[in-house]
Each structure stands twice: as structure tokens, then as C-alpha cells.
């Protein structure tokens, strides 16, 4: 029997241009439930595995504050990412009947999640990340245990983080350290020591053995080495999505769990001084609702139906 999975997505303001294509990629992952907490129009797409909870940004923050039991200072929707390690507590009444819970961004298109996180892996591990060096902010899964739901309590100074109006990012580094740091790591960090022996490695390995931190190469244009060791702007820039398959023009027939186009739309997280190609474009999405099943290209040109883009390019040849 498959382990049940629920993903939480609080999102407030205005849906991005590509939201219907994003919803389409969720619909194809029919064995995973996605719960949105939003003030956006939720009539744009319907599927049995998509659930919408109508609420204002202020109501969501108040709900989180009540569930966590401390006062928080969340002034904008992006700052909600710092609440992700608390999702197991904030949404405790919804996850009761699920084996795993998690989060994801909406600037991505999913492939087949279950083909990457099989029943065998879900039985073996308790935390899943698409990065090898940390728990990933754009998509992560956690086994529904009390220990996981309360792991945020081990994040250093987490209460102060939630009072800070600026986004800190404890959904990645903070929660990763909560899972991976041993008492020896904390001593080393505090006193600049370097304990490293059989005992320290034993405790470290014990902590890591339930974590499935495997680089899935989902986010191009970063310093993380790609499959071919390329970094930053040398990484694949042309991607394809078709009916739940995510590929690119360089890695042959390899399928990916998703394409995260964060660095196509913003230079904020690019590390080589290169401008994001969509940053100055008024419109980057060129797919109509009746074309969602077509082959879609995600590239510096935007998001196009592949055949349409080929025809456009032919005019200039």
C-alpha cells in the first residue's frame, strides 16, 4: 500500500502567470494531495487531489500564531516560508490520516513524484530533500511523527526568527541543522574545535540514516555542481514539460522530479552576476488552457508550447 502524502501551500496575493500549468502538473500526481491556503481565485482549476482553504493572509498568520503558541511577526507572504518547519503543528488537524506531509513552491512543474520517492524509500526514510547538502525549501517531505512535527523546537533561536519581519530561511539551513547537528557539532561550532573520531561519526551517521538528502538537479543556475559538473549559467537553460515528464535539452532522456525556474525569473539567488532572463519581460507565459497537454518549453524565452515556438523561430531563419 502506498504511503499517503499531503503538501501544504499557503499562497496569498495573485497567482503567477503559469498557475494553471502548475496545477496541471499537480493533477497528474493524483496520489498526492495538495492543500492551498489562499485568498486567490480557486476556480481556475479543479482536481480531486487539490484542496483550497479560503482565508486571508491575516487569518493564516493568526492561525499559525495560535497553533505555535507564541507571538510572531509575519508581515508579508514570502515570510511565511519561515513557518514551514512548523507546518506539522499548524496543520495538525489535517495531517492526522497521512503518512507524510511537506511543502513546495509554486514556481516549478512536477514530474512523477512517486517514481522518485517509491514505497520502498518512503518506508526506509523519514525526511526527503531534493538537495544533498540541506533540506530543500522548494520541496520537502517529512514522515508524520511527533518527533518531526516538533523538530522546529531544535532550530536555534526560532522564536526570535519569527519575530523578525525579514525572511531568514529556517526552512532550509535552520531545519537542516536541527536534524543533522550533534552535540559534538555544536561544541565544534561554538569553540572552533574539530572533534572527528569514531564516536562523533557514529552519532552523526545515526542522525543521517533516516534522511534521504539526494541531489535531484531541479534548480539550474546555482553554484551546486550539475550532473556534468557545470555551475551557474553553464547549467541547462532549456527544459521541457509534457504530461508529467520533465526533461532538458542536455541530459538526454533523464527525467527529473521537477523543474524549479526560480533563477529564470529573478536574479536574487543567482551567484554569477548574470541577470535572470525573465526579469524585464512583461509577459513570459504563452500557453493556453487547451494546450496544457502539449510539449511545453521552459527557457530564457519564457514558457511556450514547443511547436509554436519552433514556428516562431522559423520566421527569423
Domain around 58: 1-216
211 and 235, same domain (yes or no): no
Task: Check if the beta carbon of residue 86 is closer than 8 Å to that of residue 152.
Answer: yes
pLDDT of residue 207: 66
pLDDT digits (tens, 9 = 90+) for 206-222: 667 899 999 999 999 99
Count up the domains in the chain and report the number. 2
| CATH number, residue 161 | 3.90.550
Confidence of residue 190 (pLDDT cuts 50, 70, 90): low
287 and 305, same domain (yes or no): yes
Task: Please list the residues that pair with 236 across neighbouring strands.
Answer: none
pTM of this prediction? 0.92
pLDDT of residue 10: 98
260 and 141, same domain (yes or no): no
271 and 160, same domain (yes or no): no
d(CA 142, CA 88): 9
pLDDT digits (tens, 9 = 90+) for 61-86: 999 999 999 999 999 999 999 999 99
191 and 242, same domain (yes or no): no
> Minimal CA–CA distance to 105: which of 187, 34, 9?
9
172 and 275, same domain (yes or no): no
| Pairing state between β 211-213 and 127-129 | parallel
Task: Check if the beta carbon of residue 37 is closer than 8 Å to that of residue 11.
Answer: yes
Q: Which of 183, 216, 249 is the last residue of a domain?
A: 216
144 and 42, same domain (yes or no): yes
227 and 212, same domain (yes or no): no
Q: Which of 161, 195, 216 is the last residue of a domain?
A: 216
Amino acid at each position: 500500500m502506498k504511503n499517503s502524502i499531503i503538501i501544504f501551500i499557503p499562497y496569498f496575493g495573485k497567482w503567477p502567470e503559469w498557475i494553471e500549468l502548475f496545477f496541471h502538473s499537480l493533477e497528474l500526481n493524483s496520489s498526492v494531495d495538495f492543500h492551498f491556503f489562499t485568498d486567490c481565485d480557486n476556480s481556475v482549476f479543479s482536481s480531486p487531489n487539490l484542496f483550497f482553504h479560503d482565508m486571508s493572509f491575516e487569518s493564516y498568520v493568526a492561525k499559525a500564531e495560535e497553533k505555535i503558541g507564541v507571538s510572531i511577526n509575519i508581515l508579508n507572504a514570502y515570510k511565511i516560508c519561515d513557518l514551514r518547519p512548523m507546518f506539522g503543528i499548524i496543520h495538525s488537524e489535517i495531517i492526522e490520516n497521512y503518512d507524510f506531509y511537506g511543502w513546495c513552491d509554486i514556481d516549478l512543474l512536477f514530474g512523477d513524484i512517486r517514481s522518485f520517492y517509491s514505497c520502498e524509500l518512503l518506508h526506509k526514510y523519514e525526511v526527503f530533500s531534493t538537495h544533498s547538502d540541506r533540506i530543500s525549501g522548494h520541496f520537502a517531505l517529512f514522515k508524520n511523527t511527533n518527533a518531526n512535527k516538533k523538530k522546529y523546537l531544535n532550530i536555534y533561536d526560532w522564536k526570535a526568527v519569527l519575530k523578525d519581519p525579514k525572511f531568514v530561511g529556517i526552512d532550509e539551513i535552520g531545519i537542516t541543522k536541527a536534524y543533522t547537528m550533534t552535540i559534538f557539532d555544536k561544541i565544534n561550532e561554538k569553540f572552533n574545535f574539530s572533534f572527528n573520531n569514531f564516536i562523533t561519526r557514529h552519532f552523526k551517521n545515526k542522525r543521517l540514516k533516516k534522511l534521504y538528502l539526494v541531489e535531484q538537479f531541479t534548480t539550474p543556475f546555482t553554484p551546486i555542481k550539475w550532473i556534468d559538473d557545470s555551475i551557474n549559467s553553464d547549467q541547462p537553460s532549456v527544459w521541457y514539460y509534457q504530461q508529467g515528464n520533465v526533461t532538458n535539452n542536455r541530459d538526454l532522456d533523464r527525467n527529473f522530479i521537477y523543474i524549479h525556474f526560480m533563477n529564470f525569473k529573478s536574479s536574487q539567488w543567482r551567484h554569477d552576476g548574470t541577470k535572470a532572463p525573465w526579469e524585464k519581460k512583461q509577459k513570459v507565459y504563452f500557453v493556453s488552457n487547451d494546450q496544457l497537454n502539449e510539449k511545453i518549453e521552459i527557457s530564457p524565452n519564457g514558457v511556450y508550447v514547443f511547436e509554436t515556438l519552433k514556428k516562431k523561430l522559423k520566421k527569423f531563419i
